[in-house]
Amino acid sequence: MNVNLKLYKKQRSIVMKDSNLLFAPTLNNYRERPKWLMNLILVIILSVASIWITSITNDLTADLKEAGLSETEIDQMSTFTTVFAYIGGILAPIIGIAFSFLIFLIISKIMKSDVKASSLFAAATFVKLITTIFNFIVIVIIAIVGLDPVKHSITSLSVFSQSNDYLGVFDLSTLLTAYLFGVVLYATSRFKGKTAVIWTVIYLVVVIGIGLIQASI
C-alpha cells in the first residue's frame, strides 16, 4: 500500500510539472520547496507603489473641500489619510496572505491532504503576488488615461455604470483569484481535479454572495 501511494505521488508530481494550467508548475514546486520571502517583499513594494499612484491621481483635496472642511482641516486630513494608506499598504497584504493561508490550511486538513503548512503559506504568498501585479497594472492603466483609480473600475461590470455597486461585484480580479485558489488546491494540496473545481465554485459563490450583501447595505 505504501509503495503504491509513493508511486502515485511521484506520478502526480510529474503530471503537475508538465501541466498546461497556468501557474500550476510553480505552485507544484512550492509543495516541495516552499519559498515566500522574495514574493512577500514584492507584494509589499507593489502595494505601496499602487497607493502612491492612486494618491497622485486622486484629488482628495477637492473632495474634502466639497465636504466643507477648512484649509487646516484639509491639510491634517490629507496627511492622516496618506500615512494611514501607506501603513495599510504594508499591513493589508500580510493580513490577506495570512487569511488565505488559513483557508488553504483548513480546507486541506478537511480533505486530509498531506501538504505542509509552509508550502501552503508559500502558495498563498504567490497568489497574493499575482493578484497584486494584476491590480497594479490596472491602476497604472487607469492613471495613464487620466481617471481616478478610486472612482473608476475597468475590470468589473461597473464599467457600464460606475455608480452601480452590484455590477462592481462581478470583477475580473475575483475570477483570477478563484482560478488561483483552485490551482493551489490542485497543484499544491494535490486535490483531484473535480474536488478542486468544486471548492473553487464554492469559493466563487461565497465571495460573490458576500459582495452582493455588502452592495445592498
pTM of the model: 0.86
pLDDT at 57 over 70: yes
The segment with the largest mean pLDDT, out of 11-15, 18-22, 79-83, is 79-83
What single-letter DSSP state applies at residue 155?
Answer: S
C-alpha cell at 205: 459563490
Give percent of the chain with pLDDT exceeding 90. Answer: 61
Q: Roughly what angle, to the nearest 10 degrees, separates helices 37-57 and 117-144? A: 20
How many other CB atoms are there within 10 angstroms of residue 98's CB atom?
Answer: 13
**What are the phi and psi torsion angles at 150 (to 5°)?**
-75, -35
Q: The C-alpha cell of 186 is what? A: 490542485
In this predicted structure, the answer to whether residue 151 has a pLDDT above a threshold of 60 is yes
- The CB density around residue 51, as the number of other CB atoms within 10 Å, is 20
Alpha helices in 111-192 (DSSP H): 117-144, 165-168, 172-183
Q: Report the SS3 class of residue 164.
A: coil
Q: Is the pLDDT of residue 170 over 80?
A: yes
Residue 62: its pLDDT value, please? 67
pLDDT > 60? residue 1: no
Q: Which of 177, 176, 145, 127 is nearest to 53 (CA)?
A: 145
**Distance of alpha carbon 154 from alpha carbon 171, whole angstroms:** 9
Whether the predicted pLDDT of 159 surpasses 70: yes
Whole-angstrom distance, CA of residue 18 vs CA of residue 58? 45
Q: What is the spatial distance between Cα 3 and Cα 190, in angstroms, rounded to a whole number?
A: 18
DSSP 159: G
pLDDT at 149: 82
Instruction: Write down the domain spans for the chain.
Output: 11-216
